[in-house]
Structure 1
Amino acid sequence: MTSIISRRGLMAGLAASGIPLAASWPVRAAIPARARTLCYIGGYNKHAPPGGAGNGQGIALFEMNPTTSALAPISTFTDIASPSFITLSADNRFLYALSEIDDFNGRHDGSVTAFAVDRLSGELTRLNVVSSGGAVPAHLSVHHSGRYVLVANYVGGSVGVLPIRPDGSLGEPTDIVKNSGPRMPERAEDNPPGNFAVSDHSGPHVHMVASDQSGKFVLACDAGLDRVYVWTLDLATGKLKPAATPFLSLMPGSAPRHFSFSHDGRTLYILCEQDSKIVVARFDPTTGTITPQQRVSTVTSYFQGSTLAAGILLSPNGRYVYASNRLGDSMAVFRVGSDGLLTLIDEVWMHADYGRAMMFDPSGTFLFCANQRSDSVTSFRVDPETGALDFTWHFTAVGSPTTFAFLQL
């Protein structure tokens, strides 16, 4: 007859025999959980203004494979209108999403939604929704102090300052500044040959707003007035005050859209949408003065046809700058010189249509591109030494994507 001995019985027998239990049953060290990388993707859905409606459902949450860059879907927050730009707070506890609309609460305004982020799952819980301070917002950022959300209202032609409450929710705007200036031409003089694409110069159209690294200054690209504005922000009152030199005028018709700072905060890379150029400028961190040094094309000299530049990004090591080109469906790769000036070294096919926002994953291994008209996200492996982009052949289906935010758990 076979004798069945339980684990408890065996332990008791070993103890009675004098055999050390620790030697017989070693304790395994706890295996740390693998770090997870989550990716939020927003874009246009049916609630967008006429001409901007899309196929998105809301803010989609994915988990990224750290080896391949493949994005696996987790969930989608659907109760939000056209979240075409999103950003996380510095501590990753909150996510802020604009709605690119013009009818919030029956007013001619867009809106901004504040979310709490579950640090275990990445799931979003809505805290509140407030006015963006103008119609059809296009960009938002968290001020370096962490005390305000800054919003660029494209159709409203204004910048809204929204206070962040202790619980991460948002208050009503403490300031709304609307720009004004002469009407600019639809096209710049230095267009690529055969470029029929135009930018809206019917009035002020603020396309991006963010603070410099120190938080002393707030800058905004106005694509309608062809200017980059500079203010200081009173942290006590939430009011903007023009800097000593309140704005920089760029080439008429060029439509400055987005910008990126060098790591030391002393070089500013300004992307102009209509003529697909980058203006490299010196930035004085004491006065806020912007002094242009170089103007370089985001397409090669071989390119001819219609194009509109969309996004600009500095590599994590600060040695390369990347720019996306809509219509031409390419990404430009620039080497950053010791003087901060740029040299175009490559132009890479996006493998999709109408690429807009680009973003590195937290490790800097992969570069992702949101391709609005292809309803897809593509990814590229980045060589940190050469800046080269190698297509991974991973496509992620997302309706009308325009924006990213990455979260490391």
Structure 2
Amino acid sequence: MHILIGGYTKHESAGIYQFDFIGSGDQAHLEQRRNVVEVGGPTYFQKDGQFIFTIKNENGQGGIAAFANGKLVSQLLHEGSSPAYIGINKEKKLLYTANYHTGVLAVISYDDQGQLTLLDQVKHENKALGPRPEQAGAHPHYFDETPGGHLVSCDLGQDRVDFYGFDGQKLTHLASYQNEDGFGSRHLAFSPDGKYFYVAGELSSQVNVVKFDEENWMFRSLATYSTIPESWDQHNGAAAIRLSSDGKFLYVSNRGHDSIAVFAVLPDQALKLVQRVSTFGEFPRDFNWDAEEKYVVAANQNSNNATLYQRQSDGTLTPLEKDIAVPEGTRVLFTD
């Protein structure tokens, strides 16, 4: 098993790094960091077999690129900023990108040789912006699939979750769910049965639990929970959100409080805080787990380190290794 970590390349980073996962239980640790893809700004990426599909910036251009065995095989670049997120459907060979700066959502296909083709894109207009300074424009930060096979985006600038259909050629807007003003909708996760979703609000440091009917596009907000202590009065931005595959535990990273908030999901979908664990570094934008969800790695962007945890049966995280050196990390992915 390996772990890939990539992020910004503004200082020391050269791109995407790979670590070997060694040992098991409380003896597990990461070894042999090596730069496997040299690329500018791989702040998010996905992997399918030999291919790594990554965000890329180069010479004032941004977009995505496909690499195989460390070599560039295809890219789609445009003038300006690169996207913030890439989703993937490996069966359909589709990629979904959200561009925080330009407001553009795109669907891109790839073939067996890793060649990329833009299929369609839409642009979020600046029509219903939130009240905070960070919401001066539309800022989609997430674009991926729903349980029912539609597409969904989170727009931080407009406090909104948007749903789209895609017929293989064209995107069609289907419905919207509106978060509270200033919430800063960033990422979301769906329950295993597809009847609920959980939205991470970057600007409010909250999680909104929403009952969801995908057939009739009906939404009902159930409750909102803080990811940080009431006493915290410094800057914080909620970032990554992940739900365990059994739907019993929800995790959100806090950039500022520098922690991962762990919630138990009760039968009525109420969230119960069971832990806030330090990431032992600064600005944890992403964290992820292995296929069996036994281990978690969090990347700390500003302190150039990652932390390895063992995940317990009660959902809590036990730190195993704290000072794993990796520069400017913003994306974590476990691979074979």
Same fold (TM over 0.5): yes
| 2:84 counterpart SS class | strand
Structure 1 residue 343: Cα displacement: 1.4
Structure 1 residue 270: Cα displacement: 0.4
* 1:143-292 → structure 2 map (5 Å cutoff): 143=89, 145-171=91-117, 173-180=118-125, 181-186=127-132, 200-215=134-149, 217-235=150-168, 237=169, 239-243=170-174, 246-292=175-221
Runs of 4+ with deviation above 4 angstroms: none
Corresponding residue to 1:348 among 268, 273, 277: 277
Q: Work out whether residues 144 and 213 of structure 1, in 8 Å CA contact, stay in contact via their aligned partners in 2.
A: no
Output the CA distance in 2 between the equivalents of 1:149 and 1:395.
33
Q: Work out whether residues 140 and 152 of structure 1, in 8 Å CA contact, stay in contact via their aligned partners in 2.
A: yes
Describe the shift of the 1:134–1:147 C-alpha distance in structure 2 as closer, same or farther (beyond 3 A). farther
Identity rate of aligned residues, in percent? 27
Q: Work out whether residues 60 and 73 of structure 1, in 8 Å CA contact, stay in contact via their aligned partners in 2.
A: no
* 1:2-401 → structure 2 map (5 Å cutoff): 37-45=1-9, 53-67=10-24, 68-89=27-48, 92-99=49-56, 103-104=60-61, 110-116=62-68, 123-131=69-77, 135-143=81-89, 145-171=91-117, 173-180=118-125, 181-186=127-132, 200-215=134-149, 217-235=150-168, 237=169, 239-243=170-174, 246-384=175-313, 386-401=314-329
Q: Work out whether residues 321 and 334 of structure 1, in 8 Å CA contact, stay in contact via their aligned partners in 2.
A: yes
Q: Work out whether residues 29 and 321 of structure 2, in 8 Å CA contact, stay in contact via their aligned partners in 1.
A: no
Unaligned runs of 5+ in 1: 1-36, 46-52, 105-109, 117-122, 187-198
Please list the CA deviations of residues 224-266 of structure 1 after superposition, one character each: whole Å capped at 9, or x if unmatched. 111111001112x2x11011xx211111111111111111222
Q: Work out whether residues 42 and 54 of structure 2, in 8 Å CA contact, stay in contact via their aligned partners in 1.
A: yes
Describe the shift of the 1:292–1:54 C-alpha distance in structure 2 as closer, same or farther (beyond 3 A). farther
Output the CA distance in 1 between the equivalents of 2:58 and 2:160.
24
Describe the shift of the 1:299–1:132 C-alpha distance in structure 2 as closer, same or farther (beyond 3 A). farther
TM-score (norm: length of structure 1): 0.77
| 2:135 counterpart SS class | coil
Output the CA distance in 2 between the equivalents of 1:78 and 1:157.
27
Give the total of aligned pairs: 333
Output the CA distance in 2 between the equivalents of 1:133 and 1:406.
31
Describe the shift of the 1:288–1:396 C-alpha distance in structure 2 as closer, same or farther (beyond 3 A). farther
Greater Cα radius of gyration, structure 1 or 2? 1
Structure 1 residue 100: Cα displacement: 5.3
Output the CA distance in 2 between the equivalents of 1:183 and 1:86.
28
Partner amino acid for 1:240? Answer: L
Q: Work out whether residues 100 and 137 of structure 1, in 8 Å CA contact, stay in contact via their aligned partners in 2.
A: no
Structure 1 residue 140: Cα displacement: 0.6
TM-score (norm: length of structure 2): 0.93
Partner amino acid for 2:185? Answer: P
Output the CA distance in 1 between the equivalents of 2:46 and 2:273.
29
Please list the CA deviations of residues 67-126 of structure 1 after superposition, one character each: whole Å capped at 9, or x if unmatched. 13322125313531110001123xx3432111256822xxxxx2111123xxxxxx4343
Output the CA distance in 1 between the equivalents of 2:57 and 2:159.
22
Output the CA distance in 1 between the equivalents of 2:66 and 2:224.
38
